[in-house]
Chains A and B, each alone.
Chain A
């Protein structure tokens, strides 16, 4: 009796590998759906940025400055909202690591956006404040994670209070891309996380929303 039954060990293994394999494949597919959604948002954002960039180039000829500022603000808001979705999906990613690439792409896009934002602000004498949030992306420790979580909450509240008066741009400060490295070197960002206001003020310690708001006045 036992000999004929012992094949069950192998049968169960084959079935388990199959079911587990199907599960993993479904997992990849499911996470792939999220990556595809992020990718679509990114493509749209890329087009929008291109549009804004063209508009800002037009401002060289003193055309449509008001339009360029408004589009820039709208784009900033949109990218900020997408950053939250990206963060949610990235935190929920377990099997693949595809969203990481999307994260890098968004960081570069936001870097480009920041540069463009500086340009528009200068050319059009725009009244908004550029707030760049440099955070640690690669393996932050518990203390840094907690600090960054609080920084995020502060900036979220700040954004709610100030709305279009601020341009909130989160950028991972420790990714190994030349443009981001150049940016951190240019503004002497030596510590992460850092909040940089109007390219002058740097906040590395936790401060209240009210204190940051007073710096904007």
Chain B
């Protein structure tokens, strides 16, 4: 057998394995996916909101937090990282009108969300500490649904579902599909202790553990991934509550989106580099999370390399064919060449594509994103065929920036 079909079959096997892995977990736990532990104790809680140049959104975030039905929410520390716009003024206005809101400002711009988060965390004295991005809006029930999970003493962090607030344009709708599917699969990974990120829109940590394992790594571009791996390294549990929904604003332009995903990728690479020595060690961190990241990276790059190789090969072939056809004064395309005989791999690919389609449609239904499902099957098809295949390209540029060491949040 030639090498390429062998590689394609390898990809197919991994796709089948991962699909079955998620389907099996879902099937076993389908009845308790949205279960919420009974709130037996009111833990004191503070939320820290890092903010940089978010004068338009920060007010809505504060309002959403103030609307929370959780009685133990004592303080909301909104930390302005020396914004260039009027963010701090807006925060101060809210602080004046509500005693729960504390307006803070870092002494100088830290250049990253982690810096503002760490600064705010220094003021927190409650049993639990939560973080919400300044462009995210937790539902009023989100916090109270999350807190119940902390009755298990080993639980260090609980996160909710992150869904998209701005689902207006086609591009935003694609991201909305992605966020819903990520939230669903993240919950499924929860059942095997493999949550690899406690994301910015809303995560609550047990303060004693948060202090014990140390603050967010300000050098890492995805401090939430790094911190989660650190929790896993120390053997702490991370839980997810899909019923606790936070809506977040996603990039509207391709440029912003590319920049955001590049930052995520570079952060992922930084985290892999930091924890690479723990492969197959430290529980699920070494047995699943690190290999999962590394294999995804490898497969993405290999896939892209093959894609580029085939493009170049076909390009050269077309040039040569055109050149010789012109010399011979014969047609470049004949009726016979249009007759394509399907290969077995074509059939496998179609079967896997439909599996992915059903998985996505089903996932959107589970995450109660039926509007996305009903709106247009075309969006889902584009999401599967185009949107997901852009990732390896971002990975290449991220890897380049990572190797060169030129990367930052871009908030200085």
Contacts and interface: CB of A to CB of B under 8 A. Distances in A.
A94 B343 contact: yes
A201 interface: no
Contacts of A93: 343
B30 interface: no
A9 B284 CA distance: 12
Interface string B320-338: 1101110111110010100
A88 B341 contact: yes
Contacts, number: 112
A19 B14 CA distance: 12
B317 A208 contact: no
Nearest to A149: B321
Chain A contact-residue range equals 35 or more
B21 interface: yes
Residue of A8, A89, A143, A207 contacting most chain B CB atoms (<10 Å) = A8
Nearest to A95: B344
Interface in B277-299: 284, 288
A15 B24 contact: yes
Interface stretch (A114-122, A124-132, A151-159): A151-159
Nearest to A150: B324
B21 A8 contact: yes
Interface in B173-206: 191-193
A210 B327 CA distance: 12
B342 interface: yes
Interface stretch (A23-31, A49-57, A70-78, A164-172): A23-31
B348 to A, nearest CB: 6
Given A92-B343, A146-B324, A208 B329 contact: yes
Nearest to A6: B192
A145 B325 CA distance: 13
B313 A142 contact: yes
B373 to A, nearest CB: 26
B21 A206 contact: no
Interface of B: 1, 5, 9, 12-13, 16-17, 20-21, 24-25, 28-29, 191-193, 284, 288, 313, 316-317, 320-321, 323-325, 327-331, 334, 336, 339, 341-345, 347-348, 351
